[in-house]
Amino acid sequence: DTAVSQTPKYLVTQMGNDKSIKCEQNLGHDTMYWYKQDSKKFLKIMFSYNNKELIINETVPNRFSPKSPDKAHLNLHINSLELGDSAVYFCASSRHRDTNTEAFFGQGTRLTVV
Amino acid sequence: SQKIEQNSEALNIQEGKTATLTCNYTNYSPAYLQWYRQDPGRGPVFLLLIRENEKEKRKERLKVTFDTTLKQSLFHITASQPADSATYLCALDGSYNTDKLIFGTGTRLQVFP
């Protein structure tokens, strides 16, 4: 049973399109995250939700809109995709919002904008 | 602003030796520090967490130290094996904000037979 699963694993799309990445966790965790890992492998937090409430929004362009229908799901919708959005996006979850607990990551979604 | 530095160059060591990876940080005092392993094409996997009031933490062949005076953490893998080859990331909580983890750039470890 996969703890944090995200789909799709690969996404190739043209500039200007709108796309979504879905994430689900079956760990019963309260907190979920989206991270972006660029070509230099730098992993940077984008958003954090705790019990469906947005708690962190790290100066991400408003073309990126996370949505949490329930605490087990955190989806990421991206409007008007740009070349610079190409990266690997990771969903993660943790038992609670404080960072004294480990984070569980999904397998990643490799987004390529052409 | 807070900054986390890990050796960007790969660390190559022979099987059986101890690998030591470094994580340095500046401009803040984290309450927690975590280490993760990332394999190509996979998400990071949690290894160890150490608190600011702990000097050392061990788990099987892994050992982490946390020196808040030097603002440095060392991550050791003893009796290293080729299967330990991966990228290792350190992560700290954000300054004045323990709601988020801030990751270093990672160090790639290559263990050769």
Contact state of B42 with A108 under an 8 Å Cβ cutoff: yes
Q: Is the pLDDT of residue A97 over 70?
A: yes
Q: What is the pLDDT of residue A65?
A: 95
Q: Measured between alpha carbons, how far is A52 from A20 in angstroms, rounded to an integer?
A: 18
Which residues neighbour A61 within 8 Å (Cβ) at sequence distance 6 or greater? none
What distance in Å separates residue A82's CA from the closest CA in chain B?
23
Under the phi-then-psi rule, with left for phi > 0, alpha for psi from -120 to 50, and beta for the rest, what region is B13? beta
Note the pLDDT of residue B56. Answer: 96
Contact A50, A97 (CB under 8 A): yes
Smallest Cβ–Cβ distance between B44 and the set A40, A48, A105 belongs to A105
Q: From A33, which residue of chain B is nearest by alpha-carbon distance?
A: B100
User: Region B76-105: what's the mean pLDDT?
Assistant: 88
| pLDDT at residue A16 in the model | 98
Spacing of C-alpha A19 from chain mean position:
13
Strands B32-38, B56-59: pairing kind: unpaired
Residue whose entry in the numeric block shows the structure tokens 């982490």: B64
What's the confidence (pLDDT) of residue A58? 84
Rounded to the nearest integer, the mean pLDDT of chain A is 93
Band (B95; pLDDT cuts 50, 70, 90): low
Using alpha carbons, select from A28, A70, A64, A30 the residue that is nearest to residue A47: A64
CA B52/CA B71 separation, integer angstroms = 10
Contact list, B42 vs chain A (CB under 8 Å): 107-108
Among A51-65, A95-109, B51-65, which range has the highest average pLDDT? B51-65
What is the arithmetic mean of pLDDT over B22-36?
Answer: 89
- The per-residue pLDDT for B101 is 85
pLDDT in tens, A12-66: 999 999 999 999 999 999 999 999 999 888 899 999 998 888 888 887 899 999 9
The rounded distance, in Å, linking the Cα atoms of A47 and A36 is 10
Residue A38: how many CB atoms within 10 A of its CB?
Answer: 12
Distances (CA, A) of B108 to A25, A61, A74, B22: 28, 31, 30, 11
B45·A105 Cβ contact <8 A: yes
Strand residue runs (E) in chain B? 3-6, 11-14, 19-26, 32-38, 45-51, 56-59, 62-67, 72-77, 86-94, 97-103, 107-112
Q: How far is residue A28's CA from residue A38's CA, in Å, rounded to a whole number? A: 29
The pLDDT score that the predictor gives to residue B97 is 60
> What DSSP character marks residue A1?
-
Q: Do A104 and B46 touch (CB under 8 A)?
A: yes
Q: How high is the pLDDT of residue B93?
A: 82
